[in-house]
Amino acid sequence: MATPNIRVFPDLAALTAAAKQFVLEQATGAIAQGGQFTLALAGGNTPKPLYESLVSADTPWSQWHIFWGDERYVPLDHPDSNAGMAFQAWLNHVPIPKNQIHPMPTADADPQTAADRYEQTLRQTFGIREGEFPRFDLILLGMGPDGHTASLFPHTAALTVGDRLITVGNKDGQARLTFTVPLINHARQILFLVTGANKQTALRHIFGGTGDPHLYPARLITGNALWFLDQAAAEGVVQNA
């Protein structure tokens, strides 16, 4: 792996403040350049304080377009819903036009149908044809202790899907929807938000380029990535952390 671009913060609060500033800077640049900001959200726990902090941001919300990089296959009002969390923490409290917020569909009996549906949403929104990949201005990602990111879990079929934008992920038999590796790698900017000592082992393999990439799927993310780590995650992994 090329030398990763890493910033270490003393705690979640400091990481969140820096992430808020970074997201708003990316939004300002994208809006200045192209009149819109296309952002894909991460799920899990780490980004929730970031989403809560964005409620107070002073930014042209009417030019933001929100997507999700992955979703558990549950209804929006289910406690596990990534979209449900982001709506409660942030999106219900800011004036982004509702037709510019695109939760992943989870009502189809067959998750593959839902994946295809979301893929069409991306193609229509970005105005791209089959075989083309949209270039998100920013994709937020977390990482699990097993090195998964989005819903790209170790040794699952989703890791090898190279000709689609969206595919069906699998966590212990539970269906997920997820961005594919090539879609993520096409982003202008990727920002990983990783906290907790239980991430050290995976980070060591990912930054060290060791072990089977399919055992640590975040290694497959070779695009323009910046890593925000808290001290607990960076301990013993990053020099002088």
Instruction: Using CB atoms within 10 Å of the CB of residue 30, give its burial: 0 to 12 exposed, 13 to 18 middle, 19+ buried.
Output: buried
Residues 169 to 228: which contact ligand 6PG by CB under 6 A?
none
> Does residue 111 belong to the site contacting ligand 6PG (CB under 6 A)?
no
Angle formed at CA 39 by CA 34 and CA 43, multiple of 5 degrees = 180
Binding region for ligand 6PG (CB under 6 A) out of 32-40, 41-49, 107-115, 227-235: 41-49
Please name the helix (run of DSSP H) or strand (run of DSSP E) that holds residue 176, with its range, or none.
Answer: strand 174-179
- Residue number of the CB closest to ligand 6PG reads 142
How far is Cα of residue 203 from the mean position of the Cα atoms in its chain? 17
Contacts of 5 (CB under 8 A, 6+ apart): 225, 226, 227
Size, binding site for ligand 6PG by CB under 6 A: 15
**According to CB under 6 A, which one of 15, 27, 42, 221 is a site residue for ligand 6PG?**
42
By C-beta, is 148 or 219 nearer to ligand 6PG?
A: 148
Identify which of 124, 65, 117 has the alpha carbon closest to the alpha carbon of residue 96.
Answer: 65
Binding region for ligand 6PG (CB under 6 A) out of 44-52, 53-61, 95-103, 160-168: 44-52
**According to CB under 6 A, which one of 49, 103, 111, 142 is a site residue for ligand 6PG?**
142
**According to CB under 6 A, which one of 46, 81, 180, 189 is a site residue for ligand 6PG?**
46
The count of residues in the chain is: 241
Q: Which residues pair with 194 in a beta bridge?
A: 229
Binding residues for ligand 6PG, rule: CB under 6 A, are 42-46, 70, 72, 82, 142-144, 148-151
